């Protein structure tokens, strides 16, 4: 049975929230231990597209990290990697050549989703630590194998839902545990995008051809004629990507599960449609998911709704809202807005002052603030930096990462189940503890 929240008065007293000025989410300096030139972590990048390159840049900004190898199936990306990081960078189309190197401690897996499972397993069993982009796997039946590979290898493995490590999520977790919103009963998340050229319509190089693209390896055993659209805009196709839920819902699941400690929902339903971007893609541009979270040791039962809109005419926004019986929180990676119901209770200070006040019956009282904003300090390096700093700290023997293979699968599973629910028009029943479909 979950433990109940502390009382509202206890929370107010503990949090010291007597004023209305924005509170500050204190930044961190990570990693905490000194890093010398002799204990630099040497990494390889597998998948040097937009996200992979961004990940590598963030990883190198942490300090004490050196990139020595890059792998991609398009030669143009390997040339760009050498241009950015030097001609001595080892490059290859075959990720196994990166894993075979004894001088690599860890790899970043930034490939299309359908390669995450195989490369992660091979890397772990090659004694490499792994930072794998989300979602951890491409389908529900792949999760167990990655978990087993991590357990067998004993190496650090984390999934790249970067917001999980943010100051915003950490503050929300703390506030929920302190009873700031009472008992959680509902949550909702929203992710929106609008692009004049189309969502996920990544640029296709003019020179793209079978001469400089390893199309056969990309297909992973399937047979299709060369199609540059599928290679460079793979998120639009289910053979390689996981749609809106795998790309974006999984971030919201990761944050929610971190804040609440939840293993996940047991009932999943999704609806949506391809409303606008009818450009050959196979996945919807509007998706709505509804989820039941059963009562468990970590929390009372609650419901979750998630929305994703790629046709958003307002330029969109991203947020996660947690609603309890005494208040709510809007959670972003660098900000938390706490709102509470007006309370007839007096805090301890006001109670003492009331004794000194005139005693006429209808005199009004001073109320606590209805909204408190917690914001990151200026120059906060952000969630992406935090996530990599935590990963490298764990590689050096520090505190274990939160988003390991078990956590990563529990975040990926309901997102992947959304695709099944949408395509089959049915509710998916899931056991979040055993991590299997019912």
Q: How confident is the model at residue 195 (pLDDT cuts 50, 70, 90)?
A: confident
- CB-count burial class (<10 Å; 0-12, 13-18, 19+) for 290: middle
Q: What is the pLDDT of residue 31?
A: 39
Q: What is the pLDDT of residue 279?
A: 87
Neighbour count for residue 211 (Cβ, 10 Å): 7
Which of the residue ranges 16-30, 74-88, 422-436 would you say has the lowest mean pLDDT? 16-30
Show the DSSP H helices in 1-126 as ranges: 8-15, 50-62, 75-85, 95-99, 116-125
The two beta strands, 428-431 and 371-376, are: unpaired
Which of the residue ranges 8-22, 32-46, 313-327, 375-389 would you say has the lowest mean pLDDT? 8-22
Q: How confident is the model at residue 368 (pLDDT cuts 50, 70, 90)?
A: low
Cα torsion through 30, 35, 40, 43, rounded to 10:
0
Q: Which two tokens stand for residue 46?
A: 């597998």
Query: pLDDT tens digit string along 98-114?
Result: 999 999 999 999 999 99
pLDDT at 11 over 60: no
The residues spanned by each domain of the chain are 8-28+164-381+405-437, 37-163
pLDDT at 22 over 70: no
239 vs 258: CA distance, rounded Å: 30
Evaluate if pTM is beyond 0.85. Answer: yes
Q: What residues are paired with 288 via a beta bridge?
A: 271, 307
Q: What is the pLDDT of residue 33?
A: 42
113 vs 103: CA distance, rounded Å: 26
Query: pLDDT tens digit string along 292-332?
Result: 999 999 999 999 999 999 988 886 778 899 999 999 999 99
Residue bearing tokens 């795998």: 246
132 vs 203: CA distance, rounded Å: 23
Q: What is the average per-residue pLDDT within 352-378?
A: 75
Per-position b or e across 143-166, b if 16+ CB within 10 A of its CB: beebbebbeebebbbbbbbbbbbb
Residue bearing tokens 């009004």: 364
Q: Specify which of 6-20, 130-144, 353-367 reaches the highest per-range mean pLDDT.
A: 130-144
187 vs 320: CA distance, rounded Å: 7
Give the rounded percent of residues in the chain with a pLDDT score beyond 70: 85
The two beta strands, 129-132 and 157-159, are: parallel
Query: pLDDT tens digit string along 246-291?
Result: 999 999 999 999 999 999 999 999 999 999 998 899 999 999 999 9
Q: Report the topology of domain 37-163.
A: Rossmann fold (3.40.50)
Query: pLDDT tens digit string along 116-139?
Result: 999 999 999 999 999 999 999 999
288 vs 272: CA distance, rounded Å: 6
Q: Report the topology of domain 8-28+164-381+405-437.
A: Dihydrodipicolinate Reductase; domain 2 (3.30.360)
Per DSSP, the residues of 281-347 read: -SS-SEEEEEEEE---SS---EEEEEEEESS-TT---EEEEEEESSEEEEEETTEEEEEE---SPPP
Query: pLDDT tens digit string along 214-250?
Result: 999 999 999 999 999 999 999 999 999 999 999 999 9
Mean pLDDT of all residues belonging to the chain: 89
Q: How confident is the model at residue 16 (pLDDT cuts 50, 70, 90)?
A: very low
Expressed in angstroms, the distance from the first to the final Cα of the chain is 23
52 vs 115: CA distance, rounded Å: 14
């Amino acid at each position: 049975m979950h433990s109940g929240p502390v009382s509202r008065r206890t929370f107010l007293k503990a949090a010291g929230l007597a004023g209305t000025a924005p509170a500050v989410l204190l930044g961190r300096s990570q990693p905490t231990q000194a890093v010398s030139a002799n204990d630099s972590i040497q990494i390889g990048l597998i998948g040097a597209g937009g996200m992979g390159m961004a990940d590598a840049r963030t990883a190198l900004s942490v300090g004490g990290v050196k990139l020595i190898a890059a792998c991609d199936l398009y030669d143009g990306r390997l040339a760009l990697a050498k241009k950015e990081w030097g001609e001595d960078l080892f490059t290859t189309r075959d990720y196994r050549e990166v894993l075979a190197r004894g001088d690599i401690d860890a790899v970043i897996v930034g490939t299309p989703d359908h390669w995450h499972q195989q490369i992660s397993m091979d890397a772990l069993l090659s004694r490499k630590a792994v930072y794998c982009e989300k979602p951890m796997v491409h389908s529900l039946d792949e999760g167990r194998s990655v978990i087993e590979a991590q357990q067998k290898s004993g190496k650090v493995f984390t999934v790249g839902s970067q917001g999980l490590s943010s100051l915003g999520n950490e503050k929300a977790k703390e506030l929920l545990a302190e009873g700031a919103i009472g008992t959680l009963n509902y949550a909702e998340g929203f992710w929106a995008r609008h692009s004049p050229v189309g969502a996920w319509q990544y640029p296709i190089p003019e020179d793209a051809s079978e001469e400089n693209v390893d199309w056969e390896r990309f297909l992973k055993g399937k047979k299709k004629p060369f199609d540059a659209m599928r290679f460079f805009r793979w998120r639009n196709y289910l053979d390689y990507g996981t749609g809106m839920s795998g790309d974006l819902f999984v971030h919201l699941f990761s944050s929610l599960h971190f804040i609440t400690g939840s293993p996940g929902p047991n009932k999943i339903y999704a609806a949506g449609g391809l409303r606008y971007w009818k450009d050959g893609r196979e996945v919807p541009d509007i998706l709505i998911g509804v989820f039941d979270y059963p009562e468990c040791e970590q929390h009372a039962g609650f419901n979750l709704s998630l929305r994703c809109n790629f046709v958003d005419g307002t330029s969109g926004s991203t947020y996660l809202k947690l609603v309890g019986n005494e208040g709510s929180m809007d959670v972003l990676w660098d900000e938390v807005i706490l709102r509470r119901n007006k309370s007839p209770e007096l805090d301890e200070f006001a109670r003492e002052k009331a004794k000194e006040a005139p005693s006429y019956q209808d005199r009004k009282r001073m109320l606590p603030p209805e909204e408190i904003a917690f914001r990151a300090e200026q120059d906060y390096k952000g969630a992406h930096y935090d996530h990599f700093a935590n990963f490298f700290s764990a590689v050096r023997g520090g505190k274990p990462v939160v988003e390991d293979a078990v956590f990563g699968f529990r975040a990926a599973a309901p997102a992947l189940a959304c695709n099944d629910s949408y395509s089959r028009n049915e509710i998916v029943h899931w056991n979040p503890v055993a991590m299997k479909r019912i």
